[in-house]
A and B are shown apart, each in its own frame.
Chain A
Amino acid sequence: MDFTLNEEQTAIRQTCREFAEQEIKPVAAEIDATGTFPYPLIRQMGELGLLGLPFPEEYGGAGADFLSYCLAIEEISRGDASIGITMEAHTSLGATPFYLFGSQQQKEQYLTPLARGEQLWSFGLTEPEAGSDSGGTQTRAVLQDGHWLINGSKAFITNAGTAMTGGVTITAVTGCLSNGRNEISNLIVPVGTPGYSIGQPYKKMGWKASDTRPLAFTECLIPEENILGQPGDGFKQFLRILDAGRVAIAALSVGLAQACLDEALSYAQQRRQFGQPISKFQSIQFKLADMDMEIELARLMYYKAAWLQMQGKPYSREASMAKLFASETSKRAADQAVQIHGGYGFMDEYPVSRYWRNVKINEIGEGTSEVQRMVIAKSLGC
């Protein structure tokens, strides 16, 4: 068993670490406070190839492997979670469906500008009435004269409304299966399609510089060919997208947890009480040691899940474990980081207060912790 990262993986991680340190961290507090989507940074990331890491060069990507992409997500999220989720939702949810399920023509038309970072793309699965029950889609699409006529709505869709967004891929009910269940398909809806309206961004507790919006489809018409694969492929397609997405969210959580440890450790070494740095107190040391241990464990689990993915082996169980453990690790790490900061940790000017707000969603997005436990239990045969 070899845990050594290869040269490219190491270089990608290192470059992302430098980028996060030098370009992201200095603006993180401000974009959070003002809720500003950081266009210059996202464009710069696009130019560096960070928005197309795991896609082949022929489609404008960097041709890196899946683990490299996850390492990049970890490091970018260590700089700022809003930017981490923007990159993750664009790559895992927006671009990957085109790469995995798109026709040659769809790959050229849609994937290429996304992988080059010229455009962002979003994926609309969640609906007001279909969250954890993601197959409970109510949005409907009917085929009429060579067009899909879409009616319905989506909730909480990341990257849907930025000025760089090209469109959204949505799940919609396109028919009825013989077993009486809904036939679900993934449909491509470009921005500007009549009948497609993008709502105002939500006001959020965290990830404030990322773009999250409700979407509405009213008599929205798209050409018949704007479908990924065949009608009815949608359900198994999004399960595959979510498996990989969960590993990336695990990496995002690890990055955030690591940022908590970075801040907590440096604060503990500087802050003096009772005549010595608080890092000399055993109760503080044990908190830091636990954070370090859990982060390393979470990291190992996402490495393993990513490795399985790259080997083409089943990895749903491991993806859920990685996402579940990493997200809960990040929450504990943020909590302890604030605790170690005392009252200062409650103040906006200390990054840990932002981290504390940012970690909560890790346990919710791309499948709640309950849903991850359900996946793991299912793999046990329950």
Chain B
Amino acid sequence: MKMFVCIKQVPDPNTAISKLDPATKRLVRSGVSLVLDPGDESTISAAIKLRDKVGNSELVALSMGPASAQEATRRALAMGVDRAILITDPALAGSDAFSTAQVLAAALKKEGADLIFCSTESTDGYTGMVPGGIAEFLGIPQLTFAREITIEGQKAIIKRVIPKGYQTIESTLPAVITIASGSYEAIYPTMKGIMGAKKKTLTQMSLADLGIAATQVGEAGAHERVLSIGKAEARAAGQIIKDDGNAAQQIAEFLQRYQLL
């Protein structure tokens, strides 16, 4: 089976304080340390687990980004992905979610994918639109918020996280599956994996390779525009529960109100 996992390089959420450029209204990516999206690390871990369980399968990491995104794909290779593809092209700068999905879908079509894993959303942009876009462009089903995945013949069956539990859903293949955050713990790259990452194939693709015109994507082809950016409102003070003997009860009720229990 040919499996793909879509990954993205993002400003390190653990060190960088995300900055927005007031002129372009975009995230500042220069001068900050960039890493493989930690959410994607969990998704890669889920995909590796499934690849090994299904057997006789190849797992490919697919990313669209600047040349520096190579580092993120190397990390995926070190974690255990079999090979990687980086779509990079100057004309892609400023792409919106629509273009990103279009470009990724074109590469997936070219490669022929049975199963495509995505994180629910990226840690930097948070639009959550790319996976659905890919499924749409490829005309295949999308299974969302998976916390458990099984493959039976030509079917994917997932447990889909919902507020009060989970649904079991199945679909035909090929399909896009998004992973529910927190469902899979990210594995560490092994030392052997790191040493072997360079020996694995990392292919670069350009827009021309995918037969996409520069005007369709990037700044030029963007369908979305960020009109303004503003500061989040300061949060109101939290509720303090004093323990007068039934604090546990009150905390439980509070959590229930938000469907967290």
Answer whether A49 and B191 are a contact pair too, CB < 8 Å, given A7-B74, A11-B74, A11-B75.
yes
Q: Is the interface of A mostly helix, strand, loop or mixed?
A: helix
How far is it, in angstroms, between the C-alpha of A19 and the C-alpha of B190 when the chains are bound? 11
16 pairs, CB–CB < 8 Å, chain A vs chain B: A8-B197, A8-B198, A11-B75, A11-B78, A12-B191, A15-B191, A18-B188, A48-B188, A49-B193, A57-B192, A62-B192, A62-B194, A62-B195, A63-B195, A64-B191, A72-B191
Q: Does B128 contact A (CB under 8 A)?
A: no
Question: Residue of B at shortest CB range from A63?
Answer: B195
Asked if A47 is at the interface of the complex by the 8 Å CB criterion, the answer is yes
Hey, which chain A residues are within 8 Å of B193, CB to CB?
A: 49
Q: Is the interface of B mostly helix, strand, loop or mixed?
A: helix
Using a CB–CB cutoff of 8 Å, the interface residues on chain B facing chain A are 74-75, 78, 188-195, 197-198
Residue of B nearest to A49 (CB): B191
- Are A64's CB and B195's CB within 8 A? yes
In the complex, A50 has a CB within 8 A of chain B: yes
Residue pair A50, B191 in contact (C-beta under 8 Å): yes
**Which residue of B189, B195, B198 has the most chain A CB atoms within 10 A of its CB atom?**
B195
A53 at the interface (CB under 8 A from B): yes
- Inside 8 A of B197's CB, which chain A residues have their CB? 7-8, 11
A294 to chain B, nearest CB (A): 24
Least Cβ–Cβ distance between A53 and chain B, in angstroms: 6
Chain A residue nearest to B79 (CB atoms) is A15
A106 to B197, CA, bound (A): 30
Q: Are A49 and B198 in contact (CB under 8 A)?
A: no
Complex formed: what's the CA distance from A73 to B168 in Å?
A: 46
- Kindly list chain B residues whose C-beta atoms are within 8 Å of the C-beta of A52: 191
Q: Which residues of A contact B194 (CB under 8 A)?
A: 8, 11-12, 15, 62, 64
Task: Please state if A49 and B190 are interface contacts (CB–CB under 8 Å).
Answer: yes
Given A15-B194, A53-B191, A72-B191, 20 further pairs, Cβ under 8 A:
A7-B74, A7-B198, A8-B197, A11-B189, A11-B197, A12-B191, A15-B188, A15-B189, A18-B188, A47-B190, A48-B190, A49-B193, A52-B191, A57-B192, A62-B190, A62-B191, A63-B192, A63-B195, A64-B191, A64-B195
Q: Of B74, B188, B192, B195, which is within 8 A of A19 by CB?
A: B188
- In the bound assembly, the distance between CA atoms of A63 and B195 in angstroms comes to 7
**Which of chain A's residues have a CB closer than 8 A to the CB of B74?**
7, 11
